[in-house]
Every structure is written in structure tokens, then in C-alpha cells.
Amino acid sequence: MIAAVVVDVPSGSVNKTFDYKIPAVWEKWAEPGMRVIVPFGPRKLQGFILEVKSTSTVKGMKNITEILDPLPVLTSELINLGRWLAENTLSFYITAYQAMLPAAMKATYEKSFQVMKPDKLPDSIHPLLAGNNEITVSDVTKSNPDLLPLLQSLAKEGILDVVYKVKNKANKKKQKFVSIRDRALTEDQIQKLNKNAEKQKAILLELLHRPDGEYSLQEILNETGATLSTAQALSKKGILSIEEKEVYRDPFQGRTMKRTQPLLLTENQGEAIKPILHAIENNEHETVLLHGVTGSGKTEIYLQSIQNVLDKGKEAIVLVPEISLTPQMVNRFKGRFGSAVAVLHSGLSIGEKYDEWRKILRKEVSVVVGARSAIFAPFQNLGIVIIDEEHETSYKQEDHPRYHARDVAIWRGNYHSCPIVLGSATPALETYARAQKGRYQLAELANRVHANPMPEVTIIDMREELKNGNRSMFSLALMEKLKSGLQKGEQSVLFLNRRGYASFILCRDCGYVAQCPHCDISLTYHKRFGELKCHYCGYKESTPSVCPSCTSEHIRFFGTGTQKVEEELAKVLPEARVIRMDVDTTSKKGSHEKLLTAFENGEADILLGTQMIAKGLDFPKVTLVGVLAADTMLHLPDFRASEKTFQLLTQVSGRAGRHELEGKVIVQGYDTQHYSIQLASKHDYHTFYNHEMQTRKLHQYPPFYYLGLLTFSHLDLMQVVEASEKAATYLSKRLSRDSLLLGPVTSPIARVKDRYRYQVMIKYKNEPELRTWFEEIIAHFQKDKEIKDLQITGDLNAQTLM
């Protein structure tokens, strides 16, 4: 038997399978999808069996060294999906497969020196080895780095050998359990115990008082104050049995959840859920866009759809953006489906993630709630995928493999003949356009549940405030509302949009922001050269010292931090209790949850934060939402700037007035006339959609065109320029007349880790060969030894150019 194995070397030349012999002992159970260790040159590498076959044309095949998994970790569906993923994202197969599995299953490698000829070993090496036969290279590097050259030369002479080992990080957590071997005998034995053996007696009595069964050893020791050696003594005497067993690390330790019951759907909800239930009922693949305003009861529709799927004995995946994956959110699913739910998010340790993943593989759960990569949950009987906040950019992975979770979901939905539900109050333009075209089914919820009104939004022009002598970062209206909220004991949320901080310049008097004359995006400020630059076409101009529009001198970079706002708040509202949430205050594990719980329990009056408080939170006592600097994101050099601003403002305002208390929203900014701010304040998605579609059409952006992006990077600027120009020429000769080639230009982030970055962009509608051309370009430069160390990444459907 022969296994075709893809090995853990992300490189173009080995981006294929290699044939290995399966040793006789493993012949019976070697299966595609298992991880293996195989010899590869001088090394040992991890790999995946993709195929088991009986013949091969390869001569001198080596044996598989070891099979790591008793059961496949990649199902046959995932093996196929990985192939598709690698090809469509221009990634290596191994990278695609690794992306589908928890990090714990990725191998790390250890290199060590092993003694071959002990008699020839120089004395100076003996202390290092300390009597052992081998030492790892990393240990030598730590303790005696200057001995490394000697060790290397000994290895050359054959006195030492260099061996490579694969370390498997996928540790299962073990816990010791105790039980009494024979309860009948024990009374007797207790009498016979040494009089001084008080602690031994205590352990036995503790167990005798409990119902027959096994108990956590740690728990018994805690209860009795005995030590491990006491228990071990009893075990030696044959009275106790101590057994080690595998347990799951429980990220939600001991928390019990109140179970919730399905709500009676409103008439609107009943209509909206119909296409979903219809697809579930008939095992049809269908993509349904559930467009519903904030608080319209989308989550209840998700829950009831999942219930239908579970009733059919099938499984469900729910994707939620990482920052919305709050305990509140998770509890809504755990509350309905209890222990059938596994949770996958980045807050979990590597071990916890591995445990949750294994519950899925072992079919111990049937619902997964998780961030982007949960789309690869190894379910075999998938009945629905729900993507909440489907417009979120975090669903696109901006690293290899550059996949969009929505595309993967639709691939899996097709494979399993099941529906995909895309939910949002502000669908991505692409998604809504597809729904309009009929490629997706559209279900809309125009109102909040029980006709709770949408919150009233007031827009405040900070230029006016400045004119009237208010130099503070809070408008008079916002101050007043904050104060009255405090008096009434109601809570407020203050949201600071920090993205785009200081990268553009703004006139504080007239709101002027410098734009590129060719691209309709704002120019980015480059402090080093004192210039403003367009990242799409390369246009540049020097930084103005007075505003070109109104000649004011108040033209400067824009931005404030949460810390600054907190200080200001302390000055103007010293009596207010403030919780600040940003990357600084939430970096510690669990701190995010702690702060939110504190706010929920009324331990603070104001919750101040960045993007991370914009979504999913549902606090009944919040009556005021204040948005500081609503327009900062508008000026990012990104064609999605307006869309993102609209989405964010809609999300933030959605936090107010979701319950009995009426909510109010105050939005502050400088460029408040912009349609995305105006329309967000009116909760008018449809007008926004129509307006934005016209702009996109005019400037040839998605969803009218796809964006293909090739990014080149190298330490030497000239090499990057040369390579990207070659690539552009190559493409320009081949592209169809309907496509546009832009660049090469400097990438928006012009240098990362001392590497210069250039990009070539292609706007295209239909270019079936583009993938091949990208592959050819990448392969060409990989072979071309003239440009060593040149990195190229290709994306056939870039979401952002930032």
C-alpha cells in the first residue's frame, strides 16, 4: 500500500504529493486525512495522507515513519475543500490544510545532535551532554552557543549525527481520578490502618460518604487536606485505584446556563424564516440574505433554523465576527442548545481550541459558534451555516490562504445541499447586489421586534461647535445628555472611531480633506517626506500649511485616543464612573468579559471604547450612544471607506434603545454632510446602497469589478520595482480589453519589516485565465535566481487595498 502525502514545506517546488510506502503494521488503518511523519531529505516532516493507493511509478520510495492520528483529522470533504481553497487563493496545499485545523495540530520541529562515536568525542563536549546521548540544538544555543561550530564540525566527521524530530503539540489534558476498589472491604481496612494514618482515613471516609463512583483526585485532596503521596500510599496497598483519564479543558468552567425556549415568531420573522426552513426541509442548497435592522430579531431566526436542522439529525455552524463573540452572544446559543454547542474563538488557549475541535470531530456537539476559521469545523452532516454580520471584513483572511469565509460556506453548502444564511443590518454591497440579481434569496426585516422605534439620531457638526467657542471634544448636546443620563441613573456608551488615526490631514474650520484628483480617495500623509500621497495611482503633493479650500491655518492630522477622552471626561464629569475598553485595557485574557460584566451590573455609568464595543452588545439600561469623530474612517484610502462608515454608525446606533427605555444617539464629526453619515442617521440602507452603487460603478470598483492584486516585497527597492514592472508588462499583454491594469505603485503600507512593497492591481469582470497568469508570474520569480528572496502574493478577489 502506498500513501500520497503532502508535506509541511510551504514552497512552490514541493506543492504536490509525494508517494510513501505504508509499513505493513499500518496497512490496515492508514486512511486519507491522517497526519503522518515522513522522511524528507535529511529531515523528518509532518504531512497529510491525501490518498491511499496500490501502485506508484516512483522508484525507491521511503516508508512512512509514523502515523500520528488513529482517525483521519481531515474528512474527505475537507480534503477536497483544501484543494479548492489552495487553488483559488493561490496558496500551497499544505497551508490550506493547516488553516483548517487547530494550531495545536501543527507540528514543530526539533533538531538535535546525537552521539554516534562516543569514543571519539572530545572531552569538552562531555559536560554539555551531561551523560545523555543527545542534545537539542535549541538547548545548545541557550547554554553554550559558542560550542555550536565545534558540534557542526563533529557532525561532519560523523562523530555526531544531526537528527530531526517532529513534536506534536496536540496534547490531551489528563486528570487523575480515584475510586475505592471494594467498598465492602473498606470498613475493615480502615480499622486496620495505622493509628497515625489520619489523612489516609480521611480520604477513605470522604469517598465512602459519596455515592459509588470515581472522583477527581484533586477534589478529594482539597476536601480532606491530604497530599498526593497519601493517596498513592493507599493505592499501593490496593485499596484505592487512581486512574489517569483524558478530560476537556473547559473554557466556561462550571458555568451553568439558564435554558431558553423558542419565542413565538412575529409575523415578519415568520415570513423571513420561510425560505430558510424550506431549504432545510428539502435539503436544498440556497443562500439566503437575512437583511434586518438592528434588534429586528435575526438571532431568534438563527436559533429556530438551527433547531430545525438539529431535529433532522444534522449539524450547524454559526460564524460571528471575532469582536462580537462575547459571552453574551455565546450564551444565547448555549442557552438554547446547552452542551450541544462548541465555541471556537481566539480568546481560547491552544489547548482549549483543540479540545473544542475534537468534540466536533467526535460528534459530541452539533452546533459550533465561532470566528472565521470555524467554517472548517469537521462536521459530516452539515445542515446549515449562518454568518452573522456577514459584511464584516474580518471574514476575509488577509494572510495565506486568503479565503473569504462566505465563499467557503457556500462551497460547503453546495457539498451538503444545505442553506447558507447571511445576516446583517448592513449587508456588504456585493451581497445585496447578488440578492437583487436573484443569486441569493432576500428576506428582509424592516422593523424592530414589537415595533420598538429605531433610536433617534442627532448629528452634530463640530466645526459649528468650534465657531461657537466650544474647544472641547464633547458637543454641548452630548454633554447635556451625558449629565441627564447620570442624574437618572441611566447608562451611556461613548464610541471613539480610532481607525484612520492621524493618517490624513483635516481642516478643523471647513472640514477639507485632501483628495487624489484621479482616484476619489483621500491622500495619505507621509510624515517623513512631508507629502500627501495617493496609494492607488501614486499621485503626490506636498503638505499644505494652510487649507487650500478656506486658507485657515487649522489644518492638521486628525485623531484622538480613548485615553485622552477618558482624561477629558474626568475633567468635565468627575462624578461619572467610566469603564474604558480598548486594546490596552483588554489585552489580558478574560478582561474583555470582566469589563462588560461590570458595566452590565451597573458598576459604571459610561462605557467608553473603540470598535470592540460597536457590536452585539445588548444592555437594557443604555439610553445614550455618543459617537466621537464619526467621519475619521471616511478618509481612509480605501474604496470601502463610505460603506464601512455607514456600517459602523448603524451598528453603534443599534446599541441604543433596544429595550423599554427609549434610546438616543449623538453623532459628532467634521464632515457630517457626507451621505454615509446622513443616511446612517436615518437608518436608510436602501438609499445608501443605491447611492454607493452609483459611485462604485463610476469608479469601477466592486461589486462591478473584481480586484486582482499582486503584491511584491523585497529589501531592495529596485528589485521590487523591476519585478512589479515585469509582471505588469506580462499582464498588460494578456488582459482582455474590459479589464484595467493599475500600477505598479507603492503599496499602502510601503514598507514592512524593512521590506519595500509594490503592487499591481487589476480591475476585471471576467478573466478566466487570471489565476494561471498569477501562478505563472509567481513561479517565474521563484525560479529566477537573479532576484533572490523576492516575495509575491496574489489575491484574485481582494477585499481591501489597505
Indicate the annotated binding residues for Zn(2+).
507, 510, 516, 519, 534, 537, 547, 550
By the 8 A CB rule, do 656 and 683 touch? no
Q: Measured from the CB of residue 671, what is the shortest distance to Zn ion in angstroms?
A: 11
Q: Could you count the other beta carbons within 10 Å of the beta carbon of residue 391?
A: 26
Q: Say which residues have a Cβ less than 8 Å from residue 515's Cβ, sequence separation at least 6.
A: 521, 522, 523
Query: Partners of 791 in the beta sheet?
Result: 713
663: its cell numbers: 434610546
Alpha carbon distances (Å) from 407 to 98, 99, 397, 731: 18, 15, 12, 26
How many residues bind Zn ion (CB under 5 A)? The answer is 15
760 interface partner picked from Zn ion, ligand ADP, none, CB below 5 to 8 A per type: none
Nearer of residues 495 and 670 to Zn ion, judged by Cβ: 670
Q: Measured from the CB of residue 560, what is the shortest distance to Zn ion in angstroms?
A: 19
Which of 164, 248, 252, 539 is close enough to bind Zn ion by CB under 5 A? 539
By the 8 A CB rule, do 466 and 476 touch? no
Stretch that binds ligand ADP, among 294-302, 552-560, 628-636, 671-679 (CB under 6 A): 294-302
Which of 69, 300, 605, 631 is close enough to bind ligand ADP by CB under 6 A? 300
- Please report whether residue 266 would count as binding ligand ADP according to CB under 6 A: yes
Say how far apart CA 582 and CA 89 lie, in whole Å. Answer: 33
Query: Partners of 174 in the beta sheet?
Result: 246
- Please report whether residue 263 would count as binding ligand ADP according to CB under 6 A: yes
Which of 120, 237, 518, 765 is close enough to bind Zn ion by CB under 5 A? 518
Question: Residue 540: helix, strand or coil by DSSP?
Answer: strand
Q: Could you count the other beta carbons within 10 Å of the beta carbon of residue 230?
A: 20
Strand ranges, E, within 304-419: 315-319, 341-344, 367-370, 382-388
Stretch that binds ligand ADP, among 56-64, 298-306, 706-714, 722-730 (CB under 6 A): 298-306
Burial grade of 63 (CB within 10 A; 0-12, 13-18, 19 or more): middle
Q: Measured from the CB of residue 683, what is the shortest distance to Zn ion in angstroms?
A: 31
By the 8 A CB rule, do 669 and 631 touch? yes
Query: Partners of 179 in the beta sheet?
Result: 241
Q: Which of 295, 668, 681, 661 is nearest to 485 (CA)?
A: 661
541: its cell numbers: 503633493
Q: Which of 348, 390, 395, 386 is nearest to 367 (CA)?
A: 386
Q: Measured from the CB of residue 389, what is the shortest distance to ligand ADP in angstroms?
A: 9
Nearer of residues 257 and 537 to Zn ion, judged by Cβ: 537
Stretch that binds ligand ADP, among 289-297, 363-371, 670-678, 777-785 (CB under 6 A): 289-297
Which of 265, 486, 537, 661 is close enough to bind ligand ADP by CB under 6 A? 265
Nearer of residues 292 and 413 to ligand ADP, judged by Cβ: 292
- Please report whether residue 708 would count as binding ligand ADP according to CB under 6 A: no
Q: Which of residues 444-473 bind ligand ADP (CB under 6 A)?
A: 449
Say how far apart CA 374 and CA 320 lie, in whole Å. Answer: 9
Nearer of residues 130 and 264 to ligand ADP, judged by Cβ: 264
- Please report whether residue 500 would count as binding ligand ADP according to CB under 6 A: no
Which of 91, 189, 287, 294 is close enough to bind ligand ADP by CB under 6 A? 294
Stretch that binds ligand ADP, among 287-295, 339-347, 406-414, 545-553 (CB under 6 A): 287-295
Alpha carbon distances (Å) from 391 to 394, 567, 662: 9, 34, 27
Question: Residue 654: helix, strand or coil by DSSP?
Answer: coil
547 interface partner picked from ligand ADP, Zn ion, none, CB below 5 to 8 A per type: Zn ion
265 interface partner picked from ligand ADP, Zn ion, none, CB below 5 to 8 A per type: ligand ADP
296 interface partner picked from Zn ion, ligand ADP, none, CB below 5 to 8 A per type: ligand ADP
Say how far apart CA 721 and CA 727 lie, in whole Å. Answer: 10
549 interface partner picked from ligand ADP, Zn ion, none, CB below 5 to 8 A per type: Zn ion
- State the DSSP H helix or E strand holding residue 6, giving kind and residue range, or none if neither: strand 2-7
- State the DSSP H helix or E strand holding residue 52, giving kind and residue range, or none if neither: strand 43-53
Which of 296, 678, 746, 799 is close enough to bind ligand ADP by CB under 6 A? 296
- Please report whether residue 520 would count as binding Zn ion according to CB under 5 A: no
Give the N- to C-terminal CA distance of the chain in Å, as an integer: 49
694 interface partner picked from ligand ADP, Zn ion, none, CB below 5 to 8 A per type: none
300 interface partner picked from ligand ADP, Zn ion, none, CB below 5 to 8 A per type: ligand ADP
- Please report whether residue 295 would count as binding ligand ADP according to CB under 6 A: yes
- Please report whether residue 466 would count as binding Zn ion according to CB under 5 A: no
Q: Measured from the CB of residue 265, what is the shortest distance to ligand ADP in angstroms?
A: 5
Nearer of residues 407 and 520 to Zn ion, judged by Cβ: 520
- Please report whether residue 390 would count as binding ligand ADP according to CB under 6 A: no
Nearer of residues 128 and 466 to Zn ion, judged by Cβ: 466
- Please report whether residue 516 would count as binding Zn ion according to CB under 5 A: yes
Stretch that binds Zn ion, among 268-276, 382-390, 456-464, 518-526 (CB under 5 A): 518-526
- Please report whether residue 664 would count as binding ligand ADP according to CB under 6 A: no
Q: Which of 435, 468, 491 is nearest to 657 (CA)?
A: 491
Q: Could you count the other beta carbons within 10 Å of the beta carbon of residue 460?
A: 20
Nearer of residues 266 and 524 to ligand ADP, judged by Cβ: 266
534 interface partner picked from ligand ADP, Zn ion, none, CB below 5 to 8 A per type: Zn ion
DSSP3 helix / strand / coil % (the chain, rounded to 5): 40, 25, 40
Say how far apart CA 560 and CA 496 lie, in whole Å. Answer: 8
Looking at residue 426, the DSSP 8-state letter turns out to be: S
Nearer of residues 269 and 672 to ligand ADP, judged by Cβ: 269
Binding site per annotation, positions: 507, 510, 516, 519, 534, 537, 547, 550
Stretch that binds ligand ADP, among 202-210, 264-272, 458-466, 667-675 (CB under 6 A): 264-272
512 interface partner picked from ligand ADP, Zn ion, none, CB below 5 to 8 A per type: Zn ion
SS (H, E, C) 598-652: HHHCCCCCEEEECHHHCCCCCCCCEEEEEEECCCHHHHCCCCCHHHHHHHHHHHH
413 interface partner picked from Zn ion, ligand ADP, none, CB below 5 to 8 A per type: none
Asked if omega into 703 is within 30° of 0 (cis), the reply is yes
Q: Which of 696, 730, 728 is nearest to 711 (CA)?
A: 728
Which of 112, 268, 299, 651 is close enough to bind ligand ADP by CB under 6 A? 299
442: its cell numbers: 432576500
Q: Which of residues 493-512 bind Zn ion (CB under 5 A)?
A: 507, 509-510, 512
Say how far apart CA 141 and CA 144 lie, in whole Å. Answer: 6
Nearer of residues 637 and 657 to Zn ion, judged by Cβ: 637
Q: Measured from the CB of residue 269, what is the shortest distance to ligand ADP in angstroms?
A: 6
- Please report whether residue 486 would count as binding ligand ADP according to CB under 6 A: no
Q: Measured from the CB of residue 352, what is the shortest distance to ligand ADP in angstroms?
A: 27
Q: Measured from the CB of residue 395, what is the shortest distance to ligand ADP in angstroms?
A: 17
Nearer of residues 4 and 384 to ligand ADP, judged by Cβ: 384
SS (H, E, C) 156-217: HHCCEEEEEEEECCCCCEEEEEEEECCHHHHHHHHHHCCCCCHHHHHHHHHHHCCCCCCEEH
Stretch that binds ligand ADP, among 194-202, 239-247, 290-298, 639-647 (CB under 6 A): 290-298
- State the DSSP H helix or E strand holding residue 290, giving kind and residue range, or none if neither: strand 287-292
Residues that bind Zn ion (CB under 5 A): 507, 509-510, 512, 516, 518-519, 534, 536-537, 539, 547, 549-550, 552
Residues that bind ligand ADP (CB under 6 A): 263-266, 269, 292, 294-300, 449
